Structure 1
Amino acid sequence: MDFRISPELESLRLEVARFVEDEIIPLESDPQAYDGHGNIAEPLLETLRAKAKESGLWCPQLKAETGGLGLSKTGMAVLYETMNRSIFGPVVFNSAAPDDGNMMVLEALGTPDQKERWLKPIVEGKVRSAFAMTEPAPGGGSDPSMMLTRAVRDGNEWVVNGRKWYITGAEAAEHFMLLAKTSDDERRGHTCFLFHRDDPGWRIIRRIPIMGPEEHGGHCELEFTGLRIPHENILGEEGRGIKVVQTRLGPARLTHCMRWLGLAKRCVEIAKEYAEHREGFGVTLIDRESVQLMIGDLAMQIEIGRLLVMKAAWEIDQGRYAQKEISMAKVHVANLLHLAADRAIQINGARGYSNDTPLEWIYRYARQARLVDGADEVHKMLLNRHLSNLGTDFWKWDVEGEAADHA
């Protein structure tokens, strides 16, 4: 793999870096910049989004004809890491979850009519979206075969009954994707539907309080009691809902990692800056071996994470699913982010535990990283499954000119 990036991508990275430094990071220290749930306030976000559009930095993950910049997955890795130097960064560029993944799957699988109706308003920043899959026990979580939400066909409509929870962004969303069981077929028993916030037959039971901070729209519990969805609102094909899930969640897990690397680097940045100036017992903190070990180890772990993310992104750019590569990146980077925040707080002492830096924000946010889009243990089980199936080929090198599988 050639790790060099193009001059054009470097120029774009520098533009994003300047925008984050000049326009976004200064807001982190302003209490008025936050909404009631610890995210950037909507009026301020609207202003920054307009500036990002004017600067040509909008939706880099989408094709030019969709309204984006047409970056590859490896290009996205470069930009997303740079965006998330600020805790507010990704949402300003319309590259934050859950809209990020929802836009990419609609672009990949939507019909022309669906793209016009459901995708275009999200791309333009006029509406937000949500992906409703996870259910409370005994329903489906990491195992979709346990799903209890059902959709039954009635003429040219489907009638949905069931419950979902921890649906990110639901309170602020207008456009929804919903995964429901449509048959008992083990392989083709799920279907993905599109519906609008104003459609009758469903409600938000509650916005679930979390350790926080929260994305816009929170994490909500939903109830479906006879929601009627036209057959034309099926995304993909009837019975191919798991394909939609795979198309969405694989890249979405990886884009999480891209962004988390940016936050981990910011933690090191804050820790190093403080350690270089804070004195105690006659020396600065950075001169203490224990602090050097902590920061040096984080620098190494971040670079390992970047390599894992880039390898997975490259695999996707080659047209492969990159399942094991994404799982490895997800486990490593999620744990890295939590470690980076924890060590940076430790080095900063009481300052790190306060609101004087974004470290405590990142620390609270980081704990969910090991749970969202598959817990650590689920990904390690999947890696073991790949190892059992592939044996020593788990670590094989691709040979130029030879066909590669799409695992």
Structure 2
Amino acid sequence: MDFSISPELDQLRQRIRAFVAERILPLEDDSSSYDEHENINLDLLDSLRKEAKAEGLWCLQLPPEDGGLGVGVQGMAVCYEEMNRSIFGPVIFNSAAPDDGNMIVLSKLGTPAQKERWLKPIVDGDVRSAFVMTEPHPGGGSDPSMINTTAELNGDTYVVKGRKWFITGGAEATHFILIARTSADPRRGLSALMFHKDQPGWRIVRRIPIMGPEEHGGHCELEFDGLEIHKDNLLFEEGRGMRVTQTRLGPARLTHCMRWLGLAKRCVEIARDYASYREGFGVRLADRESIQLMLGDLAMRIETGRLLVMKAAWALDRGEKAQAEVSMAKIVVANVLHDAADRAIQINGARGYSKDTRLEWIYRYARQARLVDGADEVHKMVLNRHLNDKGDEFWSWPVQ
């Protein structure tokens, strides 16, 4: 495993870093930059997206034939970390969830006609999208086998009935990928279907209030009462909804980690800056051993997360599933993000708890990291399953 990067990728990384520093970070201190849900307001977002697109910093996760830069998963790890130095960053480069994962799965599994209809508008930045999977009890969450929403084929049309919730971006999305039950087959009972927001037969029940801040479009509860989807809008094959889900969620979990590393580093940056000049009892905070221990520990854990992310990215670029590698990265990075925000607030004292820094924003955002795309406990169960299957080979070295 060689994690060195090419000069070309490093130049792209530096261009993204400069764009974030010069065009995005200054906006975080202006209250007019925010919408009512504490994210970047849509008019400002639209303007910055045009700038990023004009500078060739757009959709780097997709292959060139689908409108991207084709940097690969390792390249994404390098660049996404830089994007999320700002809380506004990834969405400006069209690299934020849920669009990011939806574009990746449509690129990999969509037909040419489906890419033209469902993928291209997201790539162009004309529409937003959502992935519709999670259901309220007794439906499916981390366990997709429990999904109750049905899509019954009637002639050439699937008729959808059921309920979903915590659908990220639902209120702003135009294109949706829905996971629904098309048969009782325990292995091939789920399918992925695509629909447009203007189709009848479904509605947003509510935008679920959360600890916040929120992604654009929030986290919504949806009801389906006869939504009709033509079979041409079946993604991949009937009964292969789990394949679609795995194709999307594996890389999506890892891209979350890439972005979270950027936020964790931002927390350390804010903490180090304050500690460098703030004095108490005649001593700079930076000179106190307790502060040094906190920051040194975070530096080590962030680097551990970076290595786990890069190992998983390396495996995905080689065509491996990397399920265990992604789970390890997800657990470690989600926890270090939370702890980086918490300790940075502690170092900044009341200043960190206020809105004078971005730390309280990151802290509230960070708590979801240990839940989204599989709770820590679920990923630890996945790792235990791999350990039981492989035994001591769980810790094997790749052989060329």
TM-score, normalised to structure 1's length?
A: 0.98
Structure 1 SS opposite 2:171: helix
Matched residue, 1:206: 206
Q: Deviations over 1:230-282 (max 9, x none)?
A: 01100000000000000000000000000000000000000000000000100
Matched residue, 2:331: 331
CA distance in 1 between partners of 2:117 and 2:145 (Å): 30
- Structure 1 residue 65: Cα displacement: 1.5
Taking the TM superposition and a 5 Å limit, the aligned residue runs for 1:112-127 are 112-127=112-127
Matched residue, 2:15: 15
Amino acid in structure 2 at the alignment position of 1:246: Q
Matched residue, 1:133: 133
Matched residue, 1:94: 94
Structure 2 SS opposite 1:44: helix
1:247 aligns with 2:247: yes
CA distance in 1 between partners of 2:367 and 2:281 (Å): 34
Amino acid in structure 2 at the alignment position of 1:26: P
Matched residue, 1:256: 256
Amino acid in structure 1 at the alignment position of 2:261: L
CA distance in 1 between partners of 2:275 and 2:398 (Å): 43
Q: Deviations over 1:204-226 (max 9, x none)?
A: 00000000000000000000000
- Structure 1 residue 67: Cα displacement: 1.0
- Structure 1 residue 145: Cα displacement: 1.0
- Structure 1 residue 287: Cα displacement: 0.4
Amino acid in structure 1 at the alignment position of 2:56: G
- Structure 1 residue 89: Cα displacement: 0.3
CA distance in 1 between partners of 2:317 and 2:393 (Å): 21
Q: Deviations over 1:185-216 (max 9, x none)?
A: 11100000000000000000000000000000
- Structure 1 residue 3: Cα displacement: 1.9
Matched residue, 1:405: none
The Cα RMSD (Å) is 0.4
Taking the TM superposition and a 5 Å limit, the aligned residue runs for 1:304-315 are 304-315=304-315
Matched residue, 1:59: 59
Matched residue, 2:229: 229
Taking the TM superposition and a 5 Å limit, the aligned residue runs for 1:67-86 are 67-86=67-86
5+ residue gaps, structure 1: 401-407
Taking the TM superposition and a 5 Å limit, the aligned residue runs for 1:4-403 are 4-400=4-400
CA distance in 2 between partners of 1:124 and 1:152 (Å): 33
CA distance in 2 between partners of 1:76 and 1:330 (Å): 16
Amino acid in structure 2 at the alignment position of 1:366: A
- Structure 1 residue 23: Cα displacement: 0.2
Structure 2 SS opposite 1:145: helix
Q: Deviations over 1:64-99 (max 9, x none)?
A: 111111111000000000000000000000000000
TM-score, normalised to structure 2's length?
A: 1.00
CA distance in 2 between partners of 1:30 and 1:356 (Å): 11
Amino acid in structure 1 at the alignment position of 2:276: E
Structure 1 SS opposite 2:153: strand
Matched residue, 1:404: none
Structure 1 SS opposite 2:364: helix
- Structure 1 residue 398: Cα displacement: 1.3
Amino acid in structure 2 at the alignment position of 1:270: I
Structure 1: 4+ residue segments shifted above 4 A = none
Structure 2 SS opposite 1:180: strand
Calculate percent identity across the aligned residue pairs: 71
Structure 1 SS opposite 2:24: helix
- Structure 1 residue 176: Cα displacement: 0.2
Amino acid in structure 1 at the alignment position of 2:226: G
Q: Deviations over 1:315-341 (max 9, x none)?
A: 000100000000000000000000000
CA distance in 1 between partners of 2:365 and 2:242 (Å): 28
Q: Deviations over 1:104-135 (max 9, x none)?
A: 00000000000000000000000000000000
CA distance in 1 between partners of 2:39 and 2:64 (Å): 29
Q: Deviations over 1:321-376 (max 9, x none)?
A: 00000000000000000000000000000110111111000000000000000000
CA distance in 1 between partners of 2:356 and 2:247 (Å): 40
CA distance in 2 between partners of 1:197 and 1:56 (Å): 30
**Corresponding residue pairs, total:** 400
CA distance in 2 between partners of 1:21 and 1:67 (Å): 26
Q: Deviations over 1:286-328 (max 9, x none)?
A: 0000000000000000000000000000000010000000000
Matched residue, 1:403: none
CA distance in 2 between partners of 1:3 and 1:222 (Å): 42
Structure 2 SS opposite 1:162: strand
- Structure 1 residue 150: Cα displacement: 0.5
